[in-house]
Structure 1
Amino acid sequence: MRLRSTLAPFFLIPVCLAQSAHRSPTLGVPKDKLSLYVPIAGSNPPQWRCLDGKGDLLLFSAVNDDYCDCEDGSDEPGTSACKGGMFHCVNEGHLPKNIPNLRVNDGLCDSDCCDGSDEPAGVCPNRCAELGEAYRTTLEQERRLRRTGSKIRSSYVSYAKKEKKRLEEALEKGRQAVDQARLDEMRLKAVLDRAESTSADALEYKLQSPLYASLKSHSAAVKALTTKVANMEGKIATLKSILAELETSHNPNYQDMAVRGAIKGYQDFLESEKIPTDDVSEEDLEDLFKAAENDVESWTTEELKRLGQADLTGLLLEHEHHLAGFGKTEDSILFSVEHYLPEAWLPYYHETKTLLISWMVRLGVVRGVLDTSDSDEVKRARTAYSDAQRAAEDAENKLAADEDLLTKLAGFYGPDGEWLKLKDTCIEKNTGEYTYSICFFGLATQRSNNGGGTHSLGRFTTWNDEEAEGTLEYYSSQLYEHGARCWNGPERSVELVLTCGTENALLSIAEPEKCEYIVEGTSPALCWPLETEAQTKDEL
C-alpha cells in the first residue's frame, strides 16, 4: 500500500536531485549482494563492472548516479534510472522489503519502506521502530494463540494415533472374522441343503435313532474334553511362569525372598485349584498316561475342536447312504418295479403310484413319504444359514469401513490425522434471522429462527483442491455442495474458510452470490506447530 498523503513540496525537488547524486553506492542493495558492490581491487581510480559482465568498466562513482549505464540495470540499485529493477528497503527494526525501483524518488512515502530510504533524506520519517514494535506485539499474540491451539491439536493427533493402532489390530482380526464367517456360511449352507433334500418326516424319524443319540453324546464329550484341554493348557502356562520366575530369581540361600515368593505363589495356585491327588488310583493314572501316549500325537486341540463342531445330521445321512439297506421302505418293490416295465408304460405307472401312495398316507398305512412341509430341523438350518449370511456381510462391511478409515488417516484427515477427532462435530452461528450449523465432514444447514424450516446447504465434498494435499492451505478450506435448491436459483453450497483458533467456532457468514455462502471459522486442528524461535528472530 502506498501512502500518498505526504507529498514532498515542489520547492524541495531541486534539493532532492542534488542529493541523489551523492547517494551511497550500496543504497537499495540487498544484504546478500553487498559484496558485489565494491571497487575492483587495485583499480585507480576505483572502477566497477556491471553484474552481467557486459560493457566497459565503469568508474565506481557511476553506481547510483541516477544514470543507467548497464544493460541489466545493476549500476542503479538505489535509483529509478533503470527500468525493471528492485529497490531493497533495509527497514532496520522491522521487516525488510523489496519494492519496484520506479517508486524510488517519486516524492511519496512508501509504507513498505518504513525507514524512508526510497526518498531523499528528510522527506519521509523513519517509522520502522513504531511499526516493528506493533508488528512484534501482534506476532506474539498470534504465537500465543498458536501455542495454545497447538496443544489442543496435539490431543487430536494422539487420538488419531490410538485409532490407527486400533484399526491395524482390528483389520487383522476382521480378516480372520470374515474368513471364519464365510466358512460358517458354507458349512451351514451344506447343512441346509442336506436337510432340505430329506423329507421332513423321514429326517425327524432318523434323528430319533440310537446312532444319532450316540453321536450327540460323543460330540458333547469331545467339546467337554476340548474345554478341559484348554483349561489345562492355561494351568500349565501359569505353572511355567511361576517356575520360570523361580529359576531366574533364586539363589542357594533359602531365605531369598524371590524363592519364597515363587513358592508361596505355587502354593496359592494349588490351594485355589484344590487339585485332587488322593482320589486317583495308580491304575487310573496308568490308564490316563497310556491314553495320552496313544493320542498325544494324533489328536491336537484344533482337531478336537473341529471334531466337536462336526455336522451330526450330515454324518447321520451319510451313514444311511453308506448302509446297504438304506431306505428299504422306499426301495421296496413298489418303488423299484419301474425297472421292469416298458418305457411307454412309465407315465401311467408314476401317476398310479403317486395316487396310491397319497391314499396310503391319508389312511395311515405308511408314514407321510410325500409330506414336503419343513421339519423343525430344516427351519433351524434355514435360520442358521440366514444368520450366517448376515454375519458374513456385517463382517465384510466392518472390514471395508476400517480399511477405508485407515487409508484416510494417511492424509485425508490431515498430515497427522488430527481432523479425525472432529468428524461429525457440529458448530453453529446464530445471526439473528437464521442459525447456521456445519458438521465437519457431514451436513451444513440453515435453520430459521422465526418458525421457518431448515434448509440443507450441502454435504462435505472436498478440501481446497486448488492446493496440494498435505499443505496448510489445503486443509484451510472445506466445500459443502448439493444442498437444497433455491427458488429460481442454484443448489445451495458453502465454502468453509478456517484459521487457527483455540475453539471450533463459526465467526461470520456471507452470501456473495445467491445461495452460495462463505463461512469463516476457527479450529485448533489448523494450529500447526510453530517454527523455531531462531527462524522468527532472523526474520525480524
Structure 2
Amino acid sequence: FIILPPDMHFHMIIVAVFWFGFVDSRKIRGISSSYKRFFRERKSFLCIDGSKIIPFEQVNDDYCDCEDGSDEPGTSACPQGRFYCTNLGFRPHYIPSSRVNDGICDCCDASDEYNSHAHCQNACWNLGQRERAYVEGQMRTLDEGLQLKQQLIEEGVLLWREKQAQLRELQQVAEDLQTKLEERRSRKQEADRLKEQTPRPPEAGDGQNSTVTGTFKLLDSNKDGSITVDEVQAKVALVHDEERVLSEDEAVALLGGDHQMDLTTFQHTLWDILTNGGRVKVSALSNTFLFVFLSDLREKLAIDYGPDWEFLFLNSQCYKLKVYEYTYTLCPFNQVTQQSTAGTEVSLGRWGMWEGPPKNQYGRMVYENGEPCWQGGSRSTTVTLTCGTETALRSVKEPSKCQYIMDFQTPVACQPVLKQRGIHSEL
C-alpha cells in the first residue's frame, strides 16, 4: 500500500470525479432512452449489431470502431451513425451523425452542436406550442367533421330508402305496362288475323287512313296542316303521368327531332308510336322513358356509397377548381374533366372504383379511361379524400403526363381516431 499525502489524495478524488462525469456525459449523448441499456457503465461495449466488442472508453471517442456506428452516437465519426435529438417539449428525432458539430443547428434543443462555434437557442418549447395548437385545431375540425358526417349518414339512409321505394314502384309500373303492351299486341295480332280472313267490301273506305287523318286533325289544333311542339304538348300525355305536360325535349323527340310534322310523316312515325300504346295519351314513348329511367336508377343504386351510404349525397353533384388556365370539375361517381380558357373540355377519366388502403378503403377514388393521351394510353385521375368541415375540391396536380391527382375534402372522409395520435408523449 502507498499512503498519499492528504493534498494529493484530494486532487486524485477530483480527477476521478471529473473523469467519471466526462465518461457518463459521453455515453448518453445522442442516445434515446430506449437505447440507454446498451450503454451502461462497463469495461467493454458490444456493438449493437453484435459484430465487435470494444473497450468502453472507446465509446464517443470520435473514432468509429463499430460497423453500424453504434459506438459513436454523439460524434460524427461514423458514416452510418445517428444522433438522437431529445427535443424536450417538441418531437424527438434522429439526424445523421455527420451533422453533429457542423455549425448548423439541426436539433431544436441545440444538443447536436455541443462543441461547435454555432450559437443555438432552444426552440423546442415554441415549436411544441405551435404543433400542439395545430393538433388541437385538427381535433376540433375532426369533431365538427364527424358531427356533419353523422348528419350526412342519416340523410343518406333516408335517401337510399327513398330511391329503393322509387325503384320498387317504377318496377311495378314497368311490369304493368309490359303486361298491357303484350295484351294489346295479342289483340292486334288477333284482329289482323280476322281481318285477313274477312273479305273487305269494295265500297268500304280506308278505315285506317280515316283514323290516321282524324287523329292528325285532332292534334292539329290550328288546322294549318302540320303538328307543332306546342300542339303535341297540349294533346299528348304519358301513360304513367297523364297530368304532367310533356317537356319541349320530349315533344321534339316525338316529332322525330323536328319542331313540326306533316300528315305523311305522321302516318309513318308518330302514328305507330301512339297506336302501339292503345290510345293517343298512352304512348309507347312513355314506356321507353320509364325503362331508361329504371336503368339509370338501378345503375346508380349499384354503386358502393360506403357502409352507411354516407357518400350517396355526392351523386349528381359536381365540384370545380380553377388552376391557372384550366378549370377542373369533379363529379363523384361520374367523371372528371379539364376545361381550358378557350372552352376545350377534356375527359380525365370516368368513375372506376374505390382504391383506398385496407384501413381506409373509402379514402381514395379512381377515375379511368379518359381521353387518349398524346404519349399513348388514356388519362386517369386519382382522388384522395381528406377530412374537413366542408365539401370542396382543394387541389389538382399532374405528377406525370396525363396522370392526375386531386385532393377532395369532405366531412364524410373523417374517421374516428385516438386524440393522442400524432402527439408524442414527451410534448
Residue matched to 2:101: 105
Contact 2:349–2:380 (CA under 8 A) maintained in structure 1: no
Report the CA distance between 1:421 and its aligned residue: 1.8
Report the CA distance between 1:196 and its aligned residue: 2.1
Report the CA distance between 1:399 and its aligned residue: 4.3
Read off the aligned partner of 1:102 and give its amino acid letter.
S
Distance 1:499 1:140 in 2: 17
Report the CA distance between 1:20 and its aligned residue: 9.3
Distance 2:400 2:44 in 1: 63
What is the SS of the residue equivalent to 2:76?
coil
The CA deviation string for residues 431-469 of structure 1, in whole angstroms up to 9 with x for no partner, is 9x9794735345656586xxxx64425465358998658
1:117 to 97, 107, 111: 111
Contact 2:45–2:55 (CA under 8 A) maintained in structure 1: yes
Read off the aligned partner of 1:461 and give its amino acid letter.
R
Instruction: Within 5 Å, give how 1:179-198 maps onto structure 2.
Output: 179-198=175-194
Contact 2:354–2:362 (CA under 8 A) maintained in structure 1: no
Q: Which moved more, 1:123-132 or 1:530-539?
A: 530-539
1:362 to 199, 202, 213: 202
1:422 maps to 2:321: no
Report the CA distance between 1:128 and its aligned residue: 0.5
55 and 457 in structure 1: CA distance in 2 versus 1, 3 angstrom threshold: same
Read off the aligned partner of 1:438 and give its amino acid letter.
T
The CA deviation string for residues 325-374 of structure 1, in whole angstroms up to 9 with x for no partner, is xxxxxxxxxxxxxxxxxxxxxxxxxxxxxxxx77xx336xxxx6x98958
1:456 maps to 2:345: yes
1:79 maps to 2:75: yes
Residue matched to 2:410: 524
Give 1 or 2: higher strand fraction. Answer: 2
Residue matched to 1:50: 47
Residue matched to 1:440: 331
1:535 maps to 2:375: no
Contact 2:325–2:340 (CA under 8 A) maintained in structure 1: yes
The CA deviation string for residues 396-426 of structure 1, in whole angstroms up to 9 with x for no partner, is 5444433432332345xxx754443233434
Instruction: Within 5 Å, give how 1:283-362 maps onto structure 2.
Output: 361-362=201-202
Instruction: Within 5 Å, give how 1:143-292 maps onto structure 2.
Output: 143-170=139-166, 179-199=175-195
1:29 to 12, 28, 31: 31
Distance 1:98 1:145 in 2: 31
Instruction: Within 5 Å, give how 1:9-28 maps onto structure 2.
Output: 23-28=25-30
Flag structure 2 segments of 5+ consecutive residues without an equivalent. Answer: 1-20, 212-270
Report the CA distance between 1:198 and its aligned residue: 1.8
Flag structure 1 segments of 5+ consecutive residues without an equivalent. Answer: 1-18, 40-44, 203-356
Contact 1:409–1:416 (CA under 8 A) maintained in structure 2: no
Contact 1:418–1:525 (CA under 8 A) maintained in structure 2: no
Read off the aligned partner of 1:71 and give its amino acid letter.
E
Contact 2:388–2:414 (CA under 8 A) maintained in structure 1: no
505 and 155 in structure 1: CA distance in 2 versus 1, 3 angstrom threshold: same
Read off the aligned partner of 2:409 and give its amino acid letter.
S
**Fraction of identical pairs, as percent:** 26
Q: What's the C-alpha RMSD, in Å, of the aligned pairs?
A: 5.1
Distance 1:115 1:520 in 2: 38
Report the CA distance between 1:129 and its aligned residue: 0.7
Distance 1:504 1:103 in 2: 44
Distance 2:364 2:276 in 1: 53
1:405 to 284, 288, 300: 300
99 and 160 in structure 1: CA distance in 2 versus 1, 3 angstrom threshold: farther
2:132 to 122, 133, 136: 136
Q: Aligned residue pairs: how many?
A: 337
Distance 2:349 2:35 in 1: 50
Residue matched to 2:364: 474
Give 1 or 2: higher helix fraction. Answer: 1
1:89 maps to 2:85: yes
The CA deviation string for residues 5-59 of structure 1, in whole angstroms up to 9 with x for no partner, is xxxxxxxxxxxxxx997644243334444444435xxxxx544423333334x44
Distance 1:121 1:471 in 2: 50
Residue matched to 1:383: 277
518 and 459 in structure 1: CA distance in 2 versus 1, 3 angstrom threshold: closer
195 and 446 in structure 1: CA distance in 2 versus 1, 3 angstrom threshold: same
Read off the aligned partner of 1:383 and give its amino acid letter.
G
168 and 430 in structure 1: CA distance in 2 versus 1, 3 angstrom threshold: closer
Distance 1:512 1:49 in 2: 47
What is the SS of the residue equivalent to 1:186?
helix
Distance 2:121 2:414 in 1: 38
146 and 114 in structure 1: CA distance in 2 versus 1, 3 angstrom threshold: same
397 and 525 in structure 1: CA distance in 2 versus 1, 3 angstrom threshold: farther
TM-score, structure 2 as length reference: 0.58
535 and 31 in structure 1: CA distance in 2 versus 1, 3 angstrom threshold: farther
434 and 175 in structure 1: CA distance in 2 versus 1, 3 angstrom threshold: same
Distance 2:70 2:289 in 1: 73
Contact 1:503–1:522 (CA under 8 A) maintained in structure 2: no
Distance 2:31 2:352 in 1: 42
84 and 163 in structure 1: CA distance in 2 versus 1, 3 angstrom threshold: farther
Distance 2:169 2:157 in 1: 19
Residue matched to 1:38: 40
Residue matched to 2:244: none
Contact 1:479–1:496 (CA under 8 A) maintained in structure 2: no
Distance 1:402 1:395 in 2: 10
Report the CA distance between 1:93 and its aligned residue: 0.6
Larger Rg: 1
Contact 1:188–1:388 (CA under 8 A) maintained in structure 2: no
Distance 1:194 1:374 in 2: 20
156 and 391 in structure 1: CA distance in 2 versus 1, 3 angstrom threshold: same
Report the CA distance between 1:168 and its aligned residue: 4.6
